[in-house]
Chain A
Amino acid sequence: MREFLEGSQAIAKVVSLCKPGVISAYPITPQTHIVEGLAQLIADGKLNSQFINVESEHSAASVVLGASACGVRVFTATSSQGLFLMAEVLFNIAGMRLPVVLTCANRAMSAPISIWNDHQDSISLRDSGLIQLYAENIQEAVDWHLLAYRLAESRNIMLPAMVCIDGYILTHGVEPVDMPEEGEIDRFLPEYQPPYKLDVDNPITLGCLADPEYYMETRFAIQETYKDILASMPQLFKEFGSIFGRSYNFVERYRLDDAEKAIVAMGSVCGTIKDVVDELRKKGKKVGLLKISVFRPFPYQEIYASLRSIPKVAVVDRALSLGSFAPLVSEIKALFFGKKKTPKIVSGFVAGLGGRDITKDSVKQIFRQLNQREVSGKFVDLKPELLQDKI
């Protein structure tokens, strides 16, 4: 049913339709509307779930870890500092192979403290074992949660999954959303059947100490599982499309077929980039967008196939790896190494940190800069006058 919903309310609604048995969260802006929505659904008797109010994000993640280990579907959500406080637990959840699903309402990292959007929080957890899915709009935010649960709970996967949505832009923005029906969701996402759980009738030990004889194979196993995820996702996308009528993929190729210039980006900025692409196409410029929706696992083949014939590529990072190349551009550059067919230029741009708007002009500027020689880590829309300030 088509509804006009705030992003957070839409996510609360779709998560409630996934029927998590235990929800736990700690307040942090801009995530909080999501769990407030869920708390209200429980208070109104519309969702049968245990909502555990905790004293920190570390405990929120630990509560859902414990509940997931009992074989119950769980949910949590956070942002920024909260995600970092969860980080220790999230690595642990991945290592323990528990299918926790969480939403990250993307927000910049302190200091200086900022409640506004960029991707530094989730990108910094790229090595944690979390599946990471990025939404362009509220519809995608809703749909990625269904895919996140289905992926996380698959017998051959059993890993935590995080849906990343741009703070404020998607959490507080309002858009028409085609909200999936409960029956459709039940068909796509059957009741969770845990392959292992804490059970007094069949006692198991979870969270053992692994000495050097055993540790490395557990990490190898997760790495192998990520190959399985890449292999199994196309079928899942197909199934999703047949039930819900919307098709997804690891990446979205927007007007790329004959493009001479392309921008690579993730998240809500892709909407702005699409508008600019349309405008420039009207003027006869051959430009396009490669939107990366699935960041972990990193879809090497799809990205390579999408970009190899495009002469000039700009990668927009909304996060940094201070002291080195930005995360997304370094991964994309790495996948072209040793390949015969590659773009002539892969330039890296850093934009939209701490909520700085990425406007149509910013995007046009990036396309223009592709006429010059290759750059890496070029900041877009810096204010030079502020750089003179003594802080």
Chain B
Amino acid sequence: MSGSQIKSLFASGHTACAGCGQSLAARLVIDAAGPNTIVANNTGCLEVFSTKYPESAWGIPWIHSLFENAAAVASGIEAALRFLEESSSKKRLRDITVIAQAGDGGTADIGLQALSGMWERGQNILSICYDNEAYENTGIQRSGLTPYDASTTTSPAGSRSFGNPRIKKPLPEIANAHGIIYVATATVGFPQDLQRKVKKAISLKGPKYLQIHVPCPLGWGYASSLTYQIARLAVQTGLYPLVEYENGVLKGVFKISPKPVEEYLKPQRRFKHIINNPEELSKIQEIANDNIKKYNLVTAAG
């Protein structure tokens, strides 16, 4: 390999699909967090494709227990580090970054109770949601973060269905309602913004929540070469606003010159059934318009 190759804390050679947004985001996160980090990971794609025995992609201490408990496992890790530092003369163990990470199902659905408990306790942990908007690991079933009208295997489009009948559960708002110190959304489509937010989050003491949009070529049904573009289009249409809160106060938004939602929806099989349905398209455009208004996403010049 060329001398310009950068050594990552998330090694290549894992078994993720080509074009997997989550694997890209996981690498960006851990390289931004650095080697002084311990990760607790819920069950899901990331855990399966990165730690199939006897191999592991992780260059940092990493633990997987169950589908719903990474936030609680991380709580135990953070408590243990506090205890070890207080009861010994060891180096500043509490400066170690503790990350609890999961997919959208592991965060918004089965893992929400443990996550809420961890936020409420005020523990110094960064929770990360890799949001690929369905249970991709088990075969593309609907989650609480599946978007409106997306066809999944448990919310399929059909003659009497436009796919998922609900909008995404508002996890950033739910996180903010816990009074935690930092809440942000990011996307694999804007890697520098993502890494800046990881660094910002771990510079603050207390619970933090970062939700990262990670397109899934297999589950969403698009060509695996398009992950980066799809991720950017989600932001640029206003469907996935990038926002940043400190102590519940909106501190920053990623400004856009809005594109019509069709540009984002069209390459994806999960929206194929509504792409020629003006009524459903207008409902999705309405979701984007609401975001644009709510977060004031449009640039002054735009």
Contacts and interface: CB of A to CB of B under 8 A. Distances in A.
B62 A206 contact: yes
Contact of B64 (A70, A72, A199, A208): A208
A89 B65 contact: yes
Contacts of B66: 62, 88-89, 92
A70 B69 contact: no
A245 interface: no
A198 B56 CA distance: 14
Given A55-B117, A88-B66, A200-B36, A209 B80 contact: no
A209 B51 contact: yes
Contacts of A204: 61-62
B51 A205 contact: yes
A22 B83 contact: yes
B8 interface: no
Contacts of B117: 54-56, 59
A53 B53 contact: no
A22 B113 contact: no
Contacts of B56: 205, 208
B251 interface: no
B139 to A, nearest CB: 17
B61 A200 contact: yes
A10 interface: no
A62 B61 contact: no
Interface string A46-64: 0011101111101110111
A198 B72 contact: no
Contacts of A22: 76, 79-80, 83
A80 interface: no
Contacts of B65: 62, 65-66, 89, 92, 96, 207
Q: Interface size class for chain B?
A: 35 or more
A214 interface: yes
Contacts, number: 161
Given A22-B80, A65-B76, A203 B61 contact: yes
Nearest to A93: B65
B298 interface: no
B51 A200 contact: no
Given A49-B83, A70-B84, A89-B69, A209 B53 contact: yes
Interface residues of A, number: 44
A66 B62 contact: no
A48 B87 contact: yes
Nearest to A206: B63
Interface string B285-299: 000000000000000
A69 B64 CA distance: 11
A389 interface: no
A202 B47 CA distance: 20
A268 to B, nearest CB: 32
Interface in B16-45: 35-38, 40-41
B13 interface: no
B121 A209 contact: no
A88 B43 CA distance: 13
B72 A54 contact: yes
Contacts of B83: 21-22, 48-50, 67, 72
A209 to B, nearest CB: 5
Contacts of B40: 66
Interface of B: 35-38, 40-41, 47-48, 51-54, 56, 58-66, 68-69, 71-77, 79-84, 86-87, 96, 113-114, 116-117, 120-121
Interface of A: 21-22, 24, 48-50, 52-56, 58-60, 62-72, 74, 88-89, 92, 96, 198-200, 202-211, 214
26 contacts: A21-B80, A22-B76, A22-B79, A50-B79, A52-B79, A54-B72, A54-B117, A55-B120, A63-B75, A63-B76, A66-B80, A69-B76, A70-B76, A70-B81, A72-B83, A199-B61, A200-B96, A202-B61, A203-B59, A203-B60, A204-B62, A207-B63, A207-B65, A209-B48, A209-B52, A214-B53
